[in-house]
Amino acid sequence: MRIVELKVKDLEYLLKKVRELGYVVEQGPHAVLLDHSELSSYVVKKDNKIIAEIIAHYLTQYYLAEVKGASSDDEYLRELLRIKNSGVKWSIPVNNVLVIIHSDDKEFLDFINNYSDVFPVENGEEIITYYREKNPEYIKIPRILLARLLDESMS
């Protein structure tokens, strides 16, 4: 087993590409945190064998309601509904994505070692910067889930 930190700007794209390679991606635990970010884990399988687990701490399009700075609950809810009805969907990791590799699957390792992407929205860097400035402890968030998954895989 080894852990790789992967620089990802578009989580949806990463998961799509893994699926296109023929792997099954199953979402594990997921949480929406009080700072409006999200934390998820994914299990990557091939032939019912666990190849890897992915831990992602990210923002979705709904974070834009927070960025906008609504002056009332009603205004905030209207903005959330506007975003929902816009059809726009994206997930931008706040931290590097953690990949716990359980297998020496060459195709998956090559994919991870050569992965690159771009932000799914033009102002993606600005959104992440805004979040990081407002939440300086963001870097610690994935560690708890990593510890839990490592504990489970060791038992």
pLDDT value at residue 24: 98
CA distances from 145 to 114, 142, 150 (A): 25, 6, 9
CA distances from 75 to 37, 39, 72, 85 (A): 20, 26, 5, 15
Residue 144 confidence (pLDDT) above 80:
no
> What is the average pLDDT value for the chain, to the nearest integer?
91
Residue 148 confidence (pLDDT) above 80:
no
Tally of residues, the chain: 155
The residue extents of the domains of the chain are 2-154
Tokens encoding 73: 């609950």
pLDDT value at residue 84: 87
- Angle (CA) 33-113-142 rounded to 5° is 15
Report the predicted TM-score, pTM, of the whole model to 2 decimal places: 0.89
Exposed/middle/buried for 20, CB within 10 Å: 0-12, 13-18, 19+? exposed
pLDDT value at residue 155: 59
Query: Residues 38-85: pLDDT tens digits?
Result: 999 999 999 999 999 999 999 999 988 887 777 788 888 888 888 888
